[in-house]
Amino acid sequence: MTTNITLNRFSLIASALFVLSLATAPAAQAACDDPAAASVDWTTCNKQNMYMAGANLTGAKLWGTDLRGTDLAGANLSNADLSFSSLKNAILTNANLTNANLNEARLNGANLTGADLTGANLSEATWTDGRICALGSVSTCN
């Protein structure tokens, strides 16, 4: 009988620890395989050298995402969080970047011809020519 009580206590403790581990598990990671869509979460994903021209990425979470060489011509990135992302040599011609957060994004060599940057946060972003935008830069790299 002592053995059964000990096993029951062990089972109860093991079950409790399992439930606690679920309650303290970290939040789910970004689903890097999700298709391009408004509000997609591609945080820290590798989307390098992809073709996403005309994609609707409104409000997307692209923090730290590798978008080097990606074709985003005509894409809607309004209200997207592109903080700390790499957009080196990306094609952003005629892209909508209104109110996008590009804080500390790397835009070296990116093509922004015709892009709408109205209200975009460019604080400390690396601009297309390699210079660092001033803290507080909005819409234009100062």
pLDDT per residue as tens digits for the range 104-132: 999 999 999 999 999 999 999 999 999 99
pTM score, whole prediction: 0.79
* Separation of alpha carbons 96 and 52, rounded Å: 13
Residue 82 has, within 13 A of its CA and on its CB side, a CA count of 33
Dump pLDDT digits (tens) for 12-41. Answer: 444 443 434 444 434 445 699 999 999 999
Quick one: pLDDT band at residue 101, thresholds 50, 70, 90? Answer: very high
Tell me how many helices (H) and strands (E) the chain has. 1, 0
Domain boundaries, the chain: 35-142
pLDDT, residue 39, reads 97
* Separation of alpha carbons 103 and 26, rounded Å: 25
**What CATH superfamily classification does 35-142 receive?**
E3 ubiquitin-protein ligase SopA (2.160.20.80)
